[in-house]
Amino acid sequence: MTGEADMPVWAALLTSAFILAGASLALIGSIGLWRLKSFYARVHAPTLGSTLGVGCILIASIIYFSVLKTRPAVHEILIALFVTVTTPVTLLLLVRAALHRDRARGSSEVPGAITFVNGTIRLIDEKEVATGKSGQEEK
């Protein structure tokens, strides 16, 4: 630890609050990854940590280094930008692969598709998708 003694208390409190919030969000996301039942439910939980959790810890880092070095330190924005851009891409690819594998295997875990029929949202059964009934209804 270097230089915390001459750090103002308000900056230490702000940094601590953001760090604790970010770490708690990451822990909650990982508990969701551990506890939830199906893959399609589990894929939602870690995004809590990858958006707000990383954001909080990066804000804490920015505040800490800006106060300690008495000049703005904003290179943490690089990580924030990178994580924000890449997380949706990776999870989209992963869920598409999982959906492809589950459909090829005929698994019962596959969630149904959603369409808009006459302005209302309707849930299509997975068997209808497989036999192509929903395509006829859209025409």
Partner 1 sequence: MSEAILIWSLLVAQLFLAIAMLLAAFRMFHGPREQDRVLGLDNLYLNATMLLLTLGIRDGSTHYFEAALVIAMLGFVATVALAKILMRGEVIE
Residue with tokens 């707000």: 52
Q: Kindly state whether residue 110 participates in binding partner 1, applying the rule CB under 8 A.
A: no
Cα distance between the two ends of the chain: 67
* 46 closest CA partner among 70, 68, 30: 30
Among residues 68 and 113, whose Cβ is nearest to partner 1?
68
Using CB under 8 A as the binding rule, whether residue 98 contacts partner 1 is answered as yes
Stretch that binds partner 1, among 6-14, 112-120, 129-137 (CB under 8 A): 6-14
Pairwise CA distance, residues 46 & 28, whole Å:
8
Query: 55 to 84, contacts with partner 1 by CB under 8 A?
Result: 57-58, 60-61, 64-65, 68, 73, 75-76, 78-79, 82-83
